[in-house]
Structure 1
Amino acid sequence: MAYKVENVNGCTKKFVFTFDNLDLTEQIKVALKQKQKTVNIKGFRKGKAPVAMVEKLYRPQVESDALNNFLQKELFEAVNKEDVRMVGYPALENVKYDQGKSVSFDAVVEVFPTVELKDYSKLSFKKDSVEVKEEEVENVKKNYLAPKAEMKEVADAKAKLAKGQFAVFNFEGEKADGEKPENMKGEEYLLEIGSGQFIPGFEDGMIGLKKGDKKTIELTFPADYHVADLKEAQVKFHVELLEIKERSYPEFNDEMAKELGFESVADFQTKTKENLTKQKERQVEEKLNQEILEKLIEENSFEVPKAMVVQQENYLKQDLSNNLKSQGFSEDMLGEYFSKWASDLTTKAIFQVKSGLILDTLAKKYNIEATDADLDVKIEESAKLTGLQPEQVKEFYMKDEKMKSNLMYAIREEKTFKKLAEDVKIK
């Protein structure tokens, strides 16, 4: 055997290769033929120059390619022989080549770690209860009726602005140094109180104002605000309330319910409660699953490959970039944001990688796989929640192999959590 394997840590191995008698004849022949196809030599058409001439002109490069092919071949044969599950690309180090005679090199390879979980049967968790309030059903109804609602001014001059109402107002921001930037001014601005459109504290500061009232609201901008010179800035907002408005909704009767896709008001009530219950149950399950994973990671220490962490960080960055761009972030703002929160992204990526490895270990322990039957059930569930036809949902996932693969992976995780829940204590 021309190599030995050293364990660097739980997810890294080093292959140490030594070849005292090196013959690259076959590799050089292959490299020459490859080079012959691509070179342009005066007097010959591309790819038609004699092999001897190609070797004479490009011998050092050809030999380098041959050596590289040899190293790669030996490494991957060794990896297969040792049955190593490699992650990412190997790093070649300490290459020592005595031309045509011998070569030695090291290959550092990251591998999938073996996760051995401690006994988790005594771990205890609390699962939140699920309750749907009439207020939540009413909010859903208002969302359905919103496009048909009229915006009307509140006639009572003594009425005080409340959450859920709309303020029509003028405002002007003043920085600590007295500057009043143009981008901090607005006239006859319409704002729903409680919508969270303005920075924290602004909308709360307007509650209780009456038509014609003026007020100065003193606030501090968030540390992560997207405008650099306003981060943690202390600002006074001078506001004048011009009008109080609120939505006037049409009557919600059986006829209106049918127009919105339901059989009746009673049908709306029943289906809305069912959907809200399912949504809350899913949220409760997600919260419980997160707590279980956090505890398992806390209880079981193991290293993870850097390549997997970097890949997960890239996924997170891409997803976050898309969201921030939709909010108006420029490339410079994105760069500043990711620079500031880099460590948080890394921490989140490590957690997600460890979670995936733990769930994979448990799925194998429980012999769990996602089947086509599971997929059909999940598609039916998604169709009911979204209001789409099952055929539409299925087409959405089937047209993209990656989308389908991600869904199957999620199904496998979901089944794993259900089995795991039987083996831990849940109150």
Structure 2
Amino acid sequence: MNVRIEEVSSISKKLHFEVAAERVDQEIERAFRKIGKTAKIKGFRPGKIPQSVLEQYYGGQMEQEVLGRLINDTYFKALDEHAIPAVGEPRIVDSSGVMRGQAFTYQAEIEVKPAVTVKDYAGIVLQKEKFELDPKVIDGRLQELQTSRAQLDVSSREQAQSGDSVVIDFEGFVDGQPFDGGKAEDFTLELGSGALIPGFEEQVAGMTRGEAKDVQVVFPEDYGQKTLAGKPAVFRVVLKEIKEKVVPALDDDLAKGFGVETLAELREQLESSFVAQERNRIDNDLRERLVRELIARNPFEVPAAMTAKQLEYMYANISNRMRSQGLAPEMLGLNPQTFAERYRETAVNQVRGTLLLEAVGKQEGITVEAGEVDGRLEEIARMANAPLEMVQKYYAGEEAREGLMVQIAEEKVVRFLLDKALVTEVPRAALEEGQASS
């Protein structure tokens, strides 16, 4: 096998292959032996069919098998021998076909992981939000818990109003035709929540129990499902039940329902949790600012295959979260295509950030030790309240363990960069004002 590597760009190559005639002949013979064992042709016994006859009946199958084997073997061998970091699937072009006594040639167009060298990563100037605890936030959290324990009792009223939770059946039509994701039964909707299309809830308010009504709305111009954006729709709605919230008192009895004895203890627990969440949010925001600055200082192209893979990962995450809340992505106009259109640049920058942090780690010799992985597994088990052995078994898989090591490595690189950065704490309002003006 001879292979010539053509550099097309920083993220693409073209590989020119030539496979010797001797190898081609060997593969043709192998293919016909395999086909001959099972081929059935009238007038011949299985396994006794002359090769000249097999060629007439099975020449196309033979060629496909030989092509597949030659390309598969030589392509991956070339990637390994020349340490080519290919991403995605190759595009095979200019294949010569296979013939006895002749060399086989083909070309493979591939995308490759870019070789990234990071510059100017010391002394990055960053602003970090200064954490300030507002007691009103904890008051709000307490009220949320109070509301979460509210019971939905069947209302004695016959007419629905804002604030009620109603149980409805509905089916939507555009131009008289039903559309995907536009139908639901026994759907619970809190009127005034803004969960559905503008104008929908306002028209349900005022309906009476058992009433059927056509609700007319117009999908927003920026609606995620392009086929529906800007179009008028009619939803046939049946109001089946009206329920009202009955909120319990904010007292020690409420606190006991959350596993503590007093309201003061519950407040303290909420404050501790909120502080941890906020500090984590602030740290994540600082990390994003750091990565954005690295991207601005070190521009490079990202292969389409890496972007597509990141978009798939992002879409799967958001779809799973929505379904866990009883929502279908289609109801909000989300599908893989519209999601990709909306978040492609976000995905590109997420890939850039990952590659930049990986490159800094290599340049600085930042590695992950076995003890660090063991410590993280213990932390995961503790946080999940799960047996350590179960966590260890899960992360014994190559893919899961590799993902964990990448995560730990990124965290170490971020800490390294932040140690070298010039970080100033500023109030949240000042930070948001700076974002608005930039």
Q: Same fold (TM over 0.5)?
A: yes
Mapped pair 1:398 → 2:394: yes
Distance 2:59 2:200 in 1: 73
Mapped pair 1:125 → 2:126: yes
- Inter-CA distance 328–11: structure 2 relative to 1 (3 Å threshold): closer
Indicate the SS of the match to 2:104: strand
Distance 1:57 1:199 in 2: 61
Match of 1:116? 117
Match of 1:144? 145
8 A Cα contact 2:311 2:340, kept in partner:
no
- Inter-CA distance 113–139: structure 2 relative to 1 (3 Å threshold): same
Match of 1:250? 249
Mapped pair 1:273 → 2:274: no
Distance 2:423 2:396 in 1: 37
Distance 1:105 1:394 in 2: 48
Deviations 1:205-259 (A, max 9, x none): xxxxxxxxxxxxxx997433468778498xxxxxxxxxxx986542422x65344
Distance 2:112 2:45 in 1: 46
Match of 1:58? 58
Residue of 405, 416, 419 corresponding to 1:419: 416
TM-score normalised by L of structure 2: 0.67
Distance 1:89 1:340 in 2: 23
Deviations 1:64-114 (A, max 9, x none): 432442233233322222111221222222223573223332222222211
Within 5 Å, give how 1:23-172 maps onto structure 2: 23-36=23-36, 39-42=39-42, 48=47, 52=51, 54=54, 57-97=57-97, 99=99, 100-149=101-150, 166=163
Match of 2:212? none
Distance 1:65 1:190 in 2: 57
Distance 1:300 1:116 in 2: 8
8 A Cα contact 1:309 1:349, kept in partner:
yes
- Inter-CA distance 64–294: structure 2 relative to 1 (3 Å threshold): same
8 A Cα contact 1:110 1:305, kept in partner:
yes
Within 5 Å, give how 1:208-357 maps onto structure 2: 222-225=220-223, 231=230, 248-253=247-252, 256-322=254-320, 326-328=326-328, 330=330, 333-334=333-334, 342-357=340-355
Question: Counterpart amino acid of 1:315?
Answer: Y
Bigger shift: residues 23-32 or 126-135: 23-32
Number of residue pairs matched? 363
Distance 1:78 1:166 in 2: 66
Distance 1:415 1:28 in 2: 53
8 A Cα contact 1:363 1:369, kept in partner:
no
- Inter-CA distance 230–342: structure 2 relative to 1 (3 Å threshold): closer
8 A Cα contact 2:24 2:104, kept in partner:
no
8 A Cα contact 1:20 1:103, kept in partner:
yes
Match of 1:238? none
Indicate the SS of the match to 2:114: coil
Distance 2:103 2:189 in 1: 78
Question: Counterpart amino acid of 1:314?
Answer: E
Distance 2:134 2:331 in 1: 43
- Inter-CA distance 226–118: structure 2 relative to 1 (3 Å threshold): closer
- Inter-CA distance 284–117: structure 2 relative to 1 (3 Å threshold): same
Indicate the SS of the match to 1:87: strand
Bigger shift: residues 294-303 or 312-321: 312-321
Bigger shift: residues 111-120 or 264-273: 264-273
Deviations 1:358-408 (A, max 9, x none): 12223333423274334235416734xxxxx24399659939956666555
C-alpha displacement of 1:30: 2.5
Aligned-residue RMSD, C-alpha:
4.3
Distance 1:135 1:144 in 2: 14
Distance 1:273 1:135 in 2: 11
8 A Cα contact 2:92 2:107, kept in partner:
yes
Distance 1:5 1:230 in 2: 47
C-alpha displacement of 1:56: 5.8
Distance 2:189 2:59 in 1: 75
TM-score normalised by L of structure 1: 0.69
Deviations 1:243-284 (A, max 9, x none): xx986542422x653442125444333332221111011111
Bigger shift: residues 364-373 or 399-408: 399-408
Match of 2:366? 367
Match of 2:209? none
Unmatched segments (≥5 aa) in structure 1? 153-164, 170-182, 184-188, 204-218, 234-244, 384-388
Indicate the SS of the match to 2:88: strand
Distance 1:98 1:263 in 2: 80
Distance 1:351 1:320 in 2: 18
8 A Cα contact 1:41 1:49, kept in partner:
no
Question: Counterpart amino acid of 1:304?
Answer: V
Deviations 1:259-316 (A, max 9, x none): 4212544433333222111101111111111111111112112122222112222233
- Inter-CA distance 397–375: structure 2 relative to 1 (3 Å threshold): farther
Indicate the SS of the match to 1:356: helix
C-alpha displacement of 1:190: 9.1
Distance 1:313 1:298 in 2: 21
Distance 2:280 2:389 in 1: 19
Distance 1:42 1:331 in 2: 58
Deviations 1:187-215 (A, max 9, x none): xx99676x554778999xxxxxxxxxxxx
Distance 1:2 1:409 in 2: 36
Distance 1:353 1:295 in 2: 14
Match of 2:239? none
- Inter-CA distance 117–17: structure 2 relative to 1 (3 Å threshold): same
- Inter-CA distance 192–138: structure 2 relative to 1 (3 Å threshold): farther
8 A Cα contact 1:113 1:304, kept in partner:
yes
Distance 1:399 1:3 in 2: 39
